[in-house]
Structure 1
Amino acid sequence: MTQQLVPLAAPQLPAAGLDKAAVLMLALEPALSRRLMENLEFDDIRTLSQAMSGLGRTDSAVVEQVLAEFCARADMMDTVVGSLDATERLLASFLAGDRVEAIMEEIRGPAGRTVWEKLANVNEAVLASYLKNEYPQTVAVVLSRIDPAHSARVLANLPAEFGVEVVTRMLRMEVVQNDIVGDVERTLRTEFMSNLAHTNRRDNHEVMAEIFNYLDRSTESRLLASLEESDKEAAERIKTLMFTFEDLVRLDAAGIQTLIRSVGNQRIALALKGASDRLKELILGNMSERAGKALKEDMATMGPVRLRDVEEAQQFLVTTAKELAASGEIVVADNRHDQMVY
């Protein structure tokens, strides 16, 4: 009786690309696999690791075919040229339009940063103000993915009970699925980051006024005079928005006293040589009798001084006042708009 030969079935390749990637990573030398892993995002590493751990035993024939397929595709690529257009075309071949647009926006953004890296530059109070209206679980995801120091500052700015709820969710949180992280990213990008960019868009006159605040007096006068000739309205608006030496009269008593301690009597004496009587009275009135008397004596014995030195001393006081206001140590009342300027 003749024995009939039965042809062997071809090895069954893994159906999913992820499984093929897992086979490839396990088949390569550990050093090569490590180098590949180092170039992947954390979420991709986690996804690929899950696929590798659940792969089970893979026949050598399957491994050979995966490697052969990989080599065949690599051989077909004579030269690889990466570009924004090429990337966008590739993404569009398997992703929906809104997903492609979101990814490309990230790539084209500042240094191609992710939304999580961009959040690192958002003031903690601003971020907390937005997050306090979200679900605690969403906030837990956000705080678990940004820098711990920044998370701590944001957490401190959240309402107490809400903050405790967020901490509880973070303690109980397990591995977050990619689609959930993606939803949070899209929400942050479309609702928060875009609104933040819109609200942070400053008036050009305000920007120029701030720049003019740091100019020396002669340059400031020269530029404003030239601007008045070409655009008087713009020049007037800049002057209105500028914080000048005489604007120190808008400081309250506590602010003046903080400024005095920060700059020292020698600079104050020099700056007051060109100050109005109102500003002199305000500063002297917020010093002790002994310190005020010493300051008057310093001004009297100083004699004639160069205008440039006076202007530099005044600019130092203005700059210091602005820095103290920015850090919240003093408050400058803005009488023009009946608001507080920090």
Structure 2
Amino acid sequence: MSEAAESLSGIDKAAILLMAVGPETASKVVSNLSPAEVERLGIRMSNMGGITRELVEGSLRKFVEEIREQTSLGVRSEDYLKAMLVAALGDERAKMLIDRITINGRTKGLDALKWMEPRAMADLIRSEHPQIIALILSFISDQQAGKVLSMLPPELRSDIVMRIAMLDDVPPQAVRELDRVLEMHTASRASEQQSNLAGEGEERGGVSSAAAIMNALPPEVCEDVLEQIRKEDERLSSTIKEKMFIFEDLINVDDRGIQSLLREVTTEDLVMALKGASDMMNQKILKNMSQRAAELLRDDMDAKGPVRLSEVEDAQRRICDSAQQMADEGRLMLGSGDDFV
């Protein structure tokens, strides 16, 4: 293996491997990774410069023998990354992930926060100004943001969610301030990133983001935050609530929509989700399946035995995410009215 290849980290070699095998094969690999792994790998791919034949051959020899004959890749990493993620995740999810990769590739402080435990992050940011906290939560995943928010003082939560809902284009100076705060707390050195933070504003937050974070909160915390927001701004509270979507809301989706949704979700998620659903929700799903499929699903549910509530909630959230994506694409109507969410 060449000296240059020897100096590469494991994630560098993984990035080169995916760029060498082509979008179709790479997408199959990526679809089996966790979101955090995909994001970390994507950040590295988006930052890679020219890749020589020597570097490709040296770094991939330990992975696959056939790569010895591979020539220079000859593709722009940004274009390749987009093609690979679209093939693996679909247009909407790929766009969201690419946006996150672009931001996180420029702000090491935020990238460090992404790997922190929610309790540690809550302790780190609880004394900051609510606007700074809102910015931080808008840059991390909805699930992580929900956990962090639930660990912050109750009197702060509604203020933070309202600020997230009203975020749109984040001014570059706000991003710089955010990076400064994170650098101060984590003692990271991000001076080489500062010149990259002087460009145009970034789209962060908004009502949809606030609603997604609210969905990740424990039910009792969510209800309390919504009530506090309602006291401050009833219209905003209603708008956020309209954007929120939970598994039991699927009962209002018409039968044709349920049948379309069932083609998009895994049996494993469906079994887990229905273990914690109401009888009416179970009936709604089962009546939209063939008799044979419904019998198999019941058998799978019986064989599953007791399951953790957290596993049920995760499965329900994945199904809701699929329903939300279909609604965004105009393939599903959520609710009984004429409005699309």
Report the TM-score when normalising by structure 1: 0.35
Higher RCO structure (Cα 8 Å, ≥6 apart): 2
Larger Rg: 1
TM-score of the aligned structures, taking structure 2 as reference length: 0.35
